[in-house]
């Protein structure tokens, strides 16, 4: 397995853990990141969507789809930009930045391995 595939595989596994956490135990995870507990279904919907995205990462890694690897670099970079905007607009708790930074670091790792 080459290093770019490994970066995508590791990120896919990270997404599985985040998605499963938001789907099955959101009110345990949310307070850990300074977010309020919720009874709303949206956090579980986000968990489902993150799990679907994780599947895309795992399939891309399995088939060595480098065009998808490149796409994730741009997408994960956009996550950091978007989350920063939400925080600056006071639409989210600053802890959201942690998720954006993790995405950006994953994007940088993948980018370095692709160059």
Which stretches of the chain drop beneath a pLDDT of 50? none
pLDDT computed for residue 86 by the predictor: 97
Quote the CA–CA distance of 92 and 95 in Å, as a whole number. Answer: 8
- pLDDT in the model for residue 20: 98
Is the pTM here over 0.85, yes or no?
yes
CA angle centred on 82, ends 78 and 88, rounded to 5°? 145
Supply the pLDDT for residue 1. Answer: 87
Is residue 98 a contact partner of residue 34, using CB atoms and an 8 Å limit? no
pLDDT at position 69 is 98
Beta carbons of 8 and 69 less than 8 angstroms apart: yes
pLDDT at 26: 97
* Two structure tokens written together for 115: 């160059």
| Helix ranges restricted to H, 64-115 | 66-88, 96-114
């Amino acid at each position: 397995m080459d290093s770019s595939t490994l970066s995508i595989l590791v990120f896919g596994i990270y997404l599985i853990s985040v998605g499963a956490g938001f789907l099955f135990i959101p009110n345990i995870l949310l307070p850990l990141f300074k977010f309020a507990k919720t009874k709303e279904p949206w956090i579980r919907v986000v968990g489902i969507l993150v799990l679907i995205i994780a599947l895309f990462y795992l399939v891309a890694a399995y088939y060595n789809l480098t065009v998808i690897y490149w796409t994730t670099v741009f997408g994960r970079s956009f996550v950091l930009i978007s989350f920063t905007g939400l925080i600056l607009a006071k639409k989210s708790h600053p802890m959201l930045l942690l998720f954006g930074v993790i995405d950006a670091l994953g994007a940088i790792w993948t980018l370095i391995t692709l160059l």
